[in-house]
Amino acid sequence: MRNFYDFTKIEKKWQKYWEEKELFKTRKKNEKENYYVLEMFPYPSGKLHMGHVRVYSIGDVIARFKRMKGFNVLHPMGWDAFGLPAENAAIKHGNIHPREWTWENIKSMKEQMKALGLSYDWKKEVATADPDYYRWTQWFFIQMYRNNLAYKKEQAVNWCPSCETVLANEQVINNRCERCDSIVEQKELEQWFLKITDYAEELLEGHAELDWPQRVKTMQKNWIGKSEGLSIRFPIGEIEEELEVFTTRPDTIYGATYMVLAPEHPYVDQLISGQPNEDEIRNFIKKVKSQAEMERTSPQSSKDGIFTGSFAINPMTQQEIPIYIANYVLMGYGTGAIMAVPAHDQRDFDFAKKYDLPIKAVIQPHDLEEKLNGATMKKARSDDGYLINSQRFNGLTVQKAFETIADYMEKENIGERKINYRLRDWLISRQRYWGAPIPMIHCEKCGTVPVPEKDLPVLLPDDVKLSTTGVSTLAESKEFVNTTCPKCGGPARREIDTMDTFVDSSWYFLRYIDPNNQKLPVSYQKAKEWFPVNQYIGGIEHAILHLLYARFFTKVIRDLGLIEANEPFSKWLAQGMVLKDGDKMSKSKGNVVDPGKILKEYGADTARLFILFASPPEKDLEWSDAGVEGASRFLNRVWRYIVNNLDEINKIDVSQVDIKQDDLNDAEKELHRKLHETIEKVTEDVEERLNFNTAISAIMELVNEIYHYLKNNSDNINKELLAFVTEKLLLLLAPFAPHISEELWHKLGHDESVHRVKWPQFNKEAAKKDEITVVIQINGKVRDKINVSADITEEKLKEKVFIQKKVKKYIEGKEIIKTIVIPKKLVNIVVK
């Protein structure tokens, strides 16, 4: 028998066995609890990278562990298959359709996943570019349209000149396209939106239900941006309108010395028409509209504006204040108009200084002795304080003034309390081909009407020439565009935009539950049994985009009556990146490690074991060739131990073995104790903490203990104990290194797969170490007694003494000056 683990033959052998036996098929046994574990599905680029290997290995350990713990496990995989890369590849190569490119890549990546030994139920597989899937994506859009959650309007949008398509706000990073890093421009287009703002408050409140990292909840909270304030009306005499502004600081209204409008504000045209410098103003507006949002709002950007020639009335002072148009105010935030208080807002202060506008202080900081004077201020002061120059409200603290002025404004019908959100509706229109067509029809007589549900899916046409013109390529297909109105039967045109691919990925986790349902996206009963996802795993970069959209969709689907759950993912693990030489792996840096090469040289179990052992899952992982070698050596060490002792181990029927601690000698007791300590440690690390690295470390320590036992007891080996420990070792190792565990398990004479065997139970009494009693004396007086492990080091003993809550008040800051070990296992700690 070979004295090394021949992974090349063994891994393929067991992968074939698992597939033939449908070992990982989702089974529903009513007496068992259901568990749904899911990793974020990938874009089918054609090749797995090490980040994929890490996230899928994490999910696979959880899935295998939960099956062994007796759960019905749903562990599916699919493909986020629509998107720009497929379309660009087709354009680049000229003769490849995105569909062909995508499906070839799916085939390749699926083979790579199987080579890793991932325990997916492939019968649950979905691909978002499959008509059977996007039929339901289109169905959801229609339900949202019917429930006033989908609408179309013209708006200045983020436009990537390189990708030549619209980007959602979340897809613009530092004024650049997140895909290609091009500078983003602004462009006026008629676009489709989903009303995620209708769920803003529930998206905030729902965080209480989620066992997610706090930083992720905070990121979403900040993105939603809830603000409590007042909506205040400023009369404009010239056009007989009222300018509405939202502010969180009504206490500063007496310091409002000018107004600022976004160039897109609906009152702008009325305000500037007929002004002597109208052409100048319009040129300024055109210039600002061409700027990207990030450029306009960045703290580093110049605050540019122009006077409209019109004035508003401050409703509290009845004074006229000038109305400006400026680049730093956006139509999408609040009302597109602000009251500027330069004394207490740095942005307004900079603008006022630049255009020589008055600055009036109305909040006196508590820590400032001299009265604040706007005319002499060098910068804005946003300190807490009390009101000055505010008529009847002088002397009130900022907090008190908020409520008092709000009450007054509501009474006088000047304004009313209001909650505002930074979150804006989700722009989903994309001017590209490879996406789900938006299922709407435009009729001159009937307006915009949805495609009848019986006619779904609206299929992508094949008779198009892909291009990068920025005009939707669907428009090129006359057969696709020209249709009949489902209402009147007259000639009509189909919508030519496709949906943002984030729409596709906002509900895929539900389709896995019921992938063959032809009547609904998912049945209510199956969703009730399996949803929400118990454990979701994916990168932190998805904290806002995907996770927020998925939560929004889940709430909409609940309100449609299809599911009960409020949230899609009960727990979420954000795994860290895989780095090499301190940097994220990338081709441009030349530090990419090819998973295929690692599988060929070391095998899947080594790759899995290293990537799980090298770092806690939520931390970044530094790739180490030496670490891979170490993982390989450990697996071969396990292999050698078992095959070299196989004859003796196989003489024992472990099912008949009953190990009693009292019947063991000291060496046997220590091995037995180490086994149960390891079972306890691995179980807790996987089940409660997801600390796979420390779980693997514990298994390695157990193997060391086995070797130690064999070396020191070669003439007197307890074969029953050794066989018992060996079987439990393989059960513990199985979720991490499934192939070698399966092979060795069968070598031990078992017919059933190791992955269908019950997870080992630990014996608390057996796992306990011998203890000693520590008596803590201070100045000769006994203060406390504690029990500690008999093999505790003096350093650890000192640490333990200092953290004892009962005696902390006596010994904090003092020094242990003497440790006396008494033969009867009594230790006196004498404290100065």
Locus of tokens 């946003």: 382
Q: What is the pLDDT of residue 242?
A: 96
Q: What is the pLDDT of residue 585?
A: 87
Q: What is the pLDDT of residue 810?
A: 47
Domain ranges, residue 391: 226-421
Domains in the chain: how many in total?
3
Which strands form 621-622's sheet, in the order they lie side by side? 583-584, 578-580, 621-622
pLDDT(468) > 60: no
CATH number, domain of 436, equals 3.40.50.620
Residue 761 located in a structural domain: no
Identify which has the larger pLDDT, 157 or 740.
740
Across the chain, what does the average pLDDT equal?
91
pLDDT(458) > 50: yes
Give pLDDT tens digits for 242-301: 999 999 999 999 999 999 999 999 999 999 999 999 999 999 998 988 787 777 877 788
Instruction: Looking at mean pLDDT, say which of 182-196, 328-342, 508-522 comes out highest.
Output: 508-522
pTM of the model: 0.87
Same domain, 316 and 394: yes
Choose the final residue of a domain: 404, 421, 438.
421
User: How confident is the model over 328-356, as a mean pLDDT?
Assistant: 93
Q: What is the pLDDT of residue 806?
A: 44
Which residue type, as a one-letter code, is found at position 600?
K
CATH number, domain of 803, equals 3.10.20.590
Choose the final residue of a domain: 502, 531, 548.
502
Q: What is the pLDDT of residue 105?
A: 94
User: How confident is the model over 669-697, as a mean pLDDT?
Assistant: 96
DSSP 127: B
Identify which has the larger pLDDT, 56 or 543.
56
Q: Who contacts 270 (Cβ-Cβ below 8 Å, separation ≥6)?
A: 238, 239, 241
Q: What is the pLDDT of residue 298?
A: 79
pLDDT(480) > 80: yes
Same domain, 391 and 430: no
- What's the CA angle centered on 674, arms 668 and 676, to 5 degrees? 105
Give pLDDT tens digits for 704-733: 999 999 999 988 999 999 999 999 999 999
Give pLDDT tens digits for 13-41: 999 999 999 999 998 888 899 999 999 99
Residue 39 located in a structural domain: no
User: How confident is the model over 743-772, as a mean pLDDT?
Assistant: 88
Same domain, 382 and 483: no
Same domain, 238 and 366: yes
Same domain, 371 and 483: no
Cα dist from 369 to 254, 360, 366, 373, 385, whole Å:
21, 18, 8, 12, 12
Nearest to 443 by CA among 504, 502, 410, 488: 488
Q: Who contacts 828 (Cβ-Cβ below 8 Å, separation ≥6)?
A: 775, 777, 818, 819, 820, 822
How far is Cα 292 from Cα 159, in angstroms, rounded to an integer? Answer: 9
b/e for 92-119, b at 16 or more Cβ within 10 A? eeeebbbbebbbebbeebbebbbbbbbb
Q: What is the pLDDT of residue 709?
A: 96
Same domain, 355 and 436: no
Q: What is the pLDDT of residue 827?
A: 57
Percent of the chain exceeding pLDDT 90 equals 75
| Helix, strand or coil, per DSSP, at residue 346 | helix
- Residue 311 half-sphere exposure toward CB, CA atoms < 13 A: 9
Length reported for the chain: 832
Same domain, 280 and 335: yes
Residue 163 located in a structural domain: yes
Residue 26 located in a structural domain: no
Helix axes 666-684, 719-733, angle to 10 degrees: 10
Residue 582 located in a structural domain: no
Give pLDDT tens digits for 793-823: 666 666 666 555 444 444 455 555 455 444 4
Same domain, 165 and 199: yes
pLDDT(558) > 70: yes
Identify which has the larger pLDDT, 69 or 286.
69
Confidence of residue 171 (pLDDT cuts 50, 70, 90): confident
User: How confident is the model over 405-432, as a mean pLDDT?
Assistant: 95
pLDDT(410) > 50: yes
pLDDT(608) > 90: yes
Same domain, 403 and 350: yes
Cα dist from 316 to 225, 233, 321, 323, 625, whole Å:
28, 10, 12, 17, 71
Residue 651 located in a structural domain: no
Q: What is the pLDDT of residue 84?
A: 83
| Helix, strand or coil, per DSSP, at residue 188 | strand
Q: What is the pLDDT of residue 794?
A: 67
Confidence of residue 832 (pLDDT cuts 50, 70, 90): very low
Same domain, 273 and 403: yes
CATH number, domain of 380, equals 3.90.740.10
Query: What are the start-end ranges of the H helices in 685-790?
Result: 692-712, 719-733, 738-747, 764-767
Strand partners, 245: 232
Residue 536 located in a structural domain: no
Q: Which helix (H) or strand (E) holds 639?
A: helix 625-644
Query: Are 595 and 623 within 8 A, CB to CB?
Result: no
Q: What is the pLDDT of residue 785?
A: 73
User: How confident is the model over 686-715, as a mean pLDDT?
Assistant: 96
How far is Cα 609 from Cα 193, in angstroms, rounded to an integer? Answer: 45
How far is Cα 425 from Cα 423, in angstroms, rounded to an integer? Answer: 7
Query: Are 691 and 612 within 8 A, CB to CB?
Result: no
Cα dist from 347 to 309, 328, 379, whole Å:
22, 9, 10
Choose the final residue of a domain: 398, 421, 444.
421
How far is Cα 505 from Cα 137, in angstroms, rounded to an integer? Answer: 9
Same domain, 178 and 230: no
Percent of the chain exceeding pLDDT 70 equals 92
Kindly report which listed range (55-64, 633-642, 763-772) carries the lowest average pLDDT score.
763-772
Identify which has the larger pLDDT, 166 or 123.
123
Residue 615 located in a structural domain: no
Q: What is the pLDDT of residue 302?
A: 87
Which residue type, as a one-letter code, is found at position 391?
Q
pLDDT(461) > 90: yes
Cα dist from 821 to 243, 400, 516, 793, 794, whole Å:
83, 65, 70, 12, 10
Dihedral angle of Cα 388, 389, 390, 395, to the nearest 10 degrees: 20
How far is Cα 730 from Cα 53, in angstroms, rounded to an integer? Answer: 23
User: How confident is the model over 362-386, as a mean pLDDT?
Assistant: 94
pLDDT(588) > 60: yes
pLDDT(460) > 80: yes
User: How confident is the model over 659-676, as a mean pLDDT?
Assistant: 92
Same domain, 401 and 446: no
